[in-house]
Structure 1
């Protein structure tokens, strides 16, 4: 077979593990048709003497049969599975070993073909059965307040999910559902009118919006006359009075500029659609819900119960006639389904909001807005960021850590780390700045994403800036090292393409084979992350690639030099593996939102 021109069967587009799982599930279904709901676990083998993969289905099947009064030991179960297994050119051989494992060896030729395909065609995503329109709702800071560490996880996790789904080929809408409407704008506008009465003709110098917010909030809480003025401003704003709309826009624009500075630093692309965006839709939605009898009166409020009548209701209209977060979230899901034509909606917020989104979905379903057979809705919850004292991450004075200050501190520490290694003596200023940013922002992102998102995690610059272990710094150094190997050898892509086209890759060492097996698991890893929307699986995988490459490079020469340091021999097959490794690491880091640099 000509390298790089793979037919559909050998390409195994959905991954080797996916392929093996499919054929073993089929074998189990044929061998034991009466056994249902039994998992057929297939996983990479941890020891090469036990094959490349293992199927461990025999023991649970034996136990299930035993519960039915049928005694068949696991070894016989495994043998029967093997009898019905339809092997192909992917599977080289399968052995049954005690107490009932099925050890699987896969074809080296097929795996090499996948490496050649990677070089010739680039890293390709698994094929899609259907392109979906996906709305990812993430970040969501509040206007007039600075972004703080509480926004960090939603912003980082949401961006990576978007990158993952975009790589897969889905149409992704990155939505920033900012808090830009409601009572707080009444007090902000009232304060603005008094402090800068000429705001309509002269732009007010509101540079520190956080202080401006605190001043207005203090007055709102302590001055009843000011509170009345604030409520009057809310009514004017809700009626879209031009004078008050201008005041509102002035305040929002100051916030937007500050948010965008953070997004630019973190390479975040996001489209703002705040609560105000749905104002007109909320009016129409409430009218429709009331007409159809979905709203109930409760102490002056209008509430809606979902399909579970005993659940917490949504407050659709407050006693003063105003709308709530519940109203805007229900209007948002309606807009996303009816106007954006979303078939997959993902909310990325802290785990504490899980109940809220469950009720939103239930009410949307009851109102006929959401059809779960057509639209998938997922809440991607996460834990909180803790300080090293294992308490909620705060400044020494007890205030919430501002995101801007956190990023500045990351840059400072990253520069210190590079200078400790004397990198400033060999890098240009431009290279040093690029490396500093890649490390600072990369380590903050990776420290978050490498933990299971459901759990809280401890924020520690010292830990995340370590250049050993599963950290962004280690991975960035590993990547630059591999790139320098290829660069120093003077190899260009045309030469590597020629090696791939000729199929010139001899596996002469077990570390080469181990590296190849890890690299060809990329597709299966991507499918696993898409299924779970848990990025730590991708972090574990890219770390495994880096450590496996290190093992390979320690014992497998790629370049031979004489005593004068001159290159006398290059192993082009191994250089091919270097390039394939670098590309795979780069793609993984790109999905994680981490910049790579070629010199560090």
Structure 2
């Protein structure tokens, strides 16, 4: 590094000399020694600005290198996103060379066949310069970038190929540091500002069964929440239950008729779905019943004791059913139904009215967002004076920003609600509730679940598939698969139960999360439970095998593991060792990418990439040598530790996905 500092100090002196020469010329022109040379003066001022910017970059680079030398380390001491690091240094270098660009183009791509990373900025920069009547080839731009690139502890060397692509090759030192950090401190997230995040997901309706649509929302929302929690954000997981509205009037009226003593004795409602269908049939066919149902809604909203009691009983039955599903899937969520926002909806309507944002429309009160072509206005107040989902969703944004102090709000619902949320966000912005420059807000819309026939996933009778039935079928098939492989003869009773559940629920989650959430996906138990390819079964089995490498070395070796992790230098001399390490250090890059796009399938692709690259490593690099008697005669401790680091990152990925790992298979 001393040699590097010496080179950059020499460049610094040269730039200082150039600045002195340019400033002397500027002084002469200003003093009138050479007449009125305004064009030359403008050119010299621009050149001076460029040189001073380059000088600033170099000074910072040298200061950083000296700081690193004083700590006797050439590598960062925390987990960082490599792409972000490379982007920053190439962006700053580009800005120093081309100050005419306020926000210069900078394109960094991840691993290619010929290099670890690549900067692809030269050609688009050349095109931009031509627009400013500056002729400079992309090859010359690439050379200029490489010449002025400051020192980075991550870059071993750069090469220019083709018309100006800059191939970037990483140093092994950072990878060794990264692996040591994992072994000794666990898998850490890249550093970032901590935010208050509200994630709205799952959101079933009271008195209705959870179905496959709720499955997607629950799985995706839980995984996004887990990722944000891993990153250290303060996450509020909200279950926006449908627990208010007209349907409760008919349910209460029906309850009064079927179980008139419900106030004193808890009604035996075993099948709430059937109870709902019965009340809906009466509501549609019996005018007298319908009238009484509307009356019960009014009483419920006014807080009448018996109606409130009936509503609570019905909600409690649903809650127990929902909680059973959440327990099976290991999902933590805070219930906050529409009823929570009743008083807030009332004050919201008053505020919107006072701001003059509501318009009369055939007895309704509506609100427009941007009034663009095709926009549908929100119905804030119905003609009968009641509120709608629009009112409720506006009140939720207001409550989450003003009371919860959210920095970021994420809604996880089906893609069909995209137009609705676009209108909600636009109206919240217009009302002064939402400032997008201060609050990030996302609607993460997902596609539908399809059957293997390519049509919407239904039962044979055409009904919506109940989530409880789906999970039960998954565990049955999982157990069959384990017995088919005779795992029941190896595992004890508790281990077979754990393996059955972990494989079943893990497969269902992974099949969903491994596809882009924006797209529809085909639900197939046969594909999910396949132990080949990019499936949860393959990855869970791969993880167990990796963990078993160190475990099979015996208790005595594993007692020494903490000491070995601290004292054993990581060696990456074999090409397959280095290839595996380069995959592992991409973990922060993947996390950053998911944060930008909110698409968790990148993590699944990464997990599969780890597993397949590890297989290449294990097939080529011995970790343990045994004699003919099966006795261990030699251990490559560095490679065993590389296996441990691989397992640690895989375990963290599984945890973010909400998938429980196995100890044995």
Name the TM tier (shorter chain). over 0.9
Q: For 1:92, what is the secondary structure of its paired residue?
A: strand
Shift of 1:12: 5.5
The one of 358, 361, 365 aligned to 1:295: 358
360-369 or 459-468: bigger deviation: 360-369
Indicate conservation of the 8 Å contact 1:116/1:503, yes or no: no
Corresponding residue for residue 347 of structure 1:
411
The one of 419, 442, 455 aligned to 2:506: 442
Change (3 A) 1:313 1:59: same
Corresponding residue for residue 535 of structure 1:
600
The one of 481, 490, 495 aligned to 2:545: 481
CA separation in 1, counterparts of 2:160 and 2:73? 30
Corresponding residue for residue 15 of structure 2:
none
The one of 590, 613, 631 aligned to 1:548: 613
Pairs within 5 Å for 1:256-335: 256-308=319-371, 311-335=375-399
Matched, 1:561 2:613: no
Matched, 1:152 2:215: yes
Corresponding residue for residue 511 of structure 1:
576
Q: For 1:134, what is the secondary structure of its paired residue?
A: strand
Indicate conservation of the 8 Å contact 1:35/1:61, yes or no: no
Corresponding residue for residue 453 of structure 1:
517
Shift of 1:34: 3.4
Shift of 1:14: 2.6
Indicate conservation of the 8 Å contact 2:603/2:653, yes or no: yes
Corresponding residue for residue 414 of structure 1:
478
Pairs within 5 Å for 1:82-481: 82-128=146-192, 130-308=193-371, 311-481=375-545
CA separation in 2, counterparts of 1:446 and 1:261? 20
Change (3 A) 1:39 1:123: same
Q: For 1:51, what is the secondary structure of its paired residue?
A: coil
Shift of 1:266: 0.3
Deviations 1:543-579 (A, max 9, x none): 1011111110011111111111111111100010010
Indicate conservation of the 8 Å contact 2:568/2:638, yes or no: no
Deviations 1:375-415 (A, max 9, x none): 21111111111111111111111111100111111111111
Matched, 1:490 2:490: no
Corresponding residue for residue 520 of structure 1:
585
Superposition TM-score, scaled by structure 2 size: 0.87
Deviations 1:454-498 (A, max 9, x none): 111111111111111111111100100011111101266663433
Q: For 2:560, what is the secondary structure of its paired residue?
A: helix
Indicate conservation of the 8 Å contact 2:262/2:310, yes or no: yes
Corresponding residue for residue 19 of structure 1:
85
Greater RCO, CA 8 A, separation 6+: 1
502-511 or 464-473: bigger deviation: 502-511
CA separation in 2, counterparts of 1:451 and 1:198? 50
95-104 or 427-436: bigger deviation: 95-104
311-320 or 393-402: bigger deviation: 311-320
Shift of 1:89: 2.4
CA separation in 2, counterparts of 1:545 and 1:306? 46
Deviations 1:261-303 (A, max 9, x none): 0000000000000000111111122222223322221111111
CA separation in 1, counterparts of 2:103 and 2:140? 20
Indicate conservation of the 8 Å contact 1:149/1:401, yes or no: yes
Q: For 1:173, what is the secondary structure of its paired residue?
A: strand
Deviations 1:169-209 (A, max 9, x none): 01000000010000000010110001111111111110100
Change (3 A) 1:205 1:423: same
CA separation in 2, counterparts of 1:204 and 1:559? 65
Q: Structure 1 unaligned segments of length 5 or more: list them.
A: none
Size of the aligned set, in residue pairs, is 595
CA separation in 2, counterparts of 1:274 and 1:219? 26
Change (3 A) 1:359 1:444: same
Shift of 1:427: 0.7
Q: For 1:205, what is the secondary structure of its paired residue?
A: coil
CA separation in 1, counterparts of 2:169 and 2:568? 21
CA separation in 2, counterparts of 1:399 and 1:359? 31
Indicate conservation of the 8 Å contact 1:442/1:595, yes or no: yes
Superposition TM-score, scaled by structure 1 size: 0.96
Shift of 1:504: 1.7
19-28 or 531-540: bigger deviation: 19-28
Corresponding residue for residue 30 of structure 2:
none
Q: For 1:10, what is the secondary structure of its paired residue?
A: coil
Change (3 A) 1:6 1:361: farther
CA separation in 1, counterparts of 2:558 and 2:232? 26
118-127 or 86-95: bigger deviation: 86-95
Shift of 1:339: 1.1
Shift of 1:38: 5.5
Indicate conservation of the 8 Å contact 2:75/2:173, yes or no: no
Indicate conservation of the 8 Å contact 1:559/1:571, yes or no: yes
Q: For 1:374, what is the secondary structure of its paired residue?
A: coil
Deviations 1:224-262 (A, max 9, x none): 111111111111111110110000000000000000000
